[in-house]
């Protein structure tokens, strides 16, 4: 009898915990409705990317001469391209490409940007001077132009596209981390750590770095949309993901000029996919900024 009662109490506590988490999630959704929309769009992108093989009704690279430029409807819900490939399947698999490039380039850019910004802001001296001049040179070119240069030098492939987009992200992350490090290194807890004999490297990694995570998260979510849009732009120009991989930008490049009037669905649906992915990432980034920075809250 005692075991049954204890088990009932545990179930009641678990249910209360779930209700509490659901209540907090609902409160955040009501407080930041645009952020909730952005989160849903981004989760939809993740879901399509992870389960593309199950969601896609057809093979995205299988061609069919009989289905060339088929209009939306029937077995091709969103139509087919000039080679008879199913557009819905290609758009679903394109989410995997955009997610891999966006998340991969953001992680790589943030990783090296954090290392560079933390070392530059904490060590100062000649290292900071040389590093900041190098960052100034990199920031002189816009993100897309820098990515174009890197993609042209490396060649079109999935791995090279991730590298080409991640490198221009490094100076942006490094500048943000450096500015936060400059203010944190003068805080009393850093002085106290020095007073007890803690090494400089341990202070930087254990005390300064964790306090830069909030602005880093905001910056990473903001850069995610830019990375997805840059990948689409590189693929549109023929410097991103090569065939036969289904990239949204590549779909636009293949059909925008020649088939925009005869088969407008070849342009409309990939364009909508790109817009929703970037829109969702930007809304999510704005909401994360408002949540982590009290000064931005309305």
Residues of the chain with pLDDT under 70: 1-25, 27-28, 254-257, 292-298
Angle at 100 between CA 177 and CA 139, to 5 degrees: 35
pLDDT at 276: 87
What distances in angstroms separate CA 114 from CA 6, 27, 104, 145, one per listed residue? 48, 33, 15, 23
Separation of alpha carbons 96 and 47, rounded Å: 9
Structure tokens at 255: 């059909």
Structure tokens at 62: 């299988």
Separation of alpha carbons 213 and 16, rounded Å: 31
* CB neighbour list of residue 139: distance below 8 Å, 6 or more residues apart: 171, 172, 175
pLDDT at 13: 47
Structure tokens at 8: 């009932």
pLDDT at 267: 84
Angle at 288 between CA 295 and CA 110, to 5 degrees: 110
Q: At residue 27, what are phi and psi to the nearest 5 degrees? A: -65, -45
Separation of alpha carbons 162 and 108, rounded Å: 9
Cβ atoms within 10 Å, residue 290: 18
pLDDT at 180: 83
Separation of alpha carbons 136 and 140, rounded Å: 6
pLDDT at 7: 45
Tell me, yes or no, if the pTM score tops 0.95: no
pLDDT at 9: 42
Separation of alpha carbons 73 and 117, rounded Å: 52
What digits encode the pLDDT tens for the residues 206-252? 777 777 777 788 788 878 888 888 888 888 777 877 777 788 888 87
86 forms beta bridges with 80
73 forms beta bridges with 76
């Amino acid at each position: 009898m005692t075991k049954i009662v204890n088990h009932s109490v545990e179930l009641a506590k678990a249910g209360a915990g779930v209700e509490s988490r659901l209540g907090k999630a609902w409160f955040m959704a009501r407080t930041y409705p645009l952020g909730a929309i952005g989160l849903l769009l981004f989760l939809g992108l993740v879901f399509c990317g992870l389960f593309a093989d199950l969601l896609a009704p057809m093979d995205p690279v299988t061609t069919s001469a009989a289905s060339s430029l088929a209009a939306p409807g029937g077995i091709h819900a969103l139509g087919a391209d000039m080679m008879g490939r199913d557009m819905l399947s290609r758009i679903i698999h394109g989410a995997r490409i955009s997610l891999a490039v966006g998340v991969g380039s953001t992680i790589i850019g943030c990783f090296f940007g954090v290392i560079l910004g933390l070392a530059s802001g904490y060590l100062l001296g000649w290292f900071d001077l040389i590093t900041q001049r190098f960052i100034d040179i990199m920031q002189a070119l816009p993100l897309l132009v820098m990515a174009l240069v890197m993609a042209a030098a490396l060649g079109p492939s999935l791995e090279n596209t991730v590298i080409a987009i991640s490198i221009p992200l490094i100076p942006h992350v490094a500048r943000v981390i450096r500015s936060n490090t400059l203010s944190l290194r003068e805080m009393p807890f850093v002085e106290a750590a020095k007073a007890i004999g803690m090494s400089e490297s341990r202070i930087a990694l254990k005390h300064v770095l964790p306090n830069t995570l909030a602005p880093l998260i905001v910056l990473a979510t903001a850069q995610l949309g830019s990375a997805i849009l840059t990948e689409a732009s590189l693929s549109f120009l023929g410097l991103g993901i090569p065939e036969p991989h289904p990239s949204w930008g590549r779909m636009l490049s293949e059909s925008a000029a020649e088939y925009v009037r005869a088969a407008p669905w070849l342009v409309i649906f990939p364009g909508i996919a790109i817009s929703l992915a970037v829109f969702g990432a930007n809304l999510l980034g704005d909401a994360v900024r408002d949540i982590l920075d009290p000064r931005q809250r309305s």
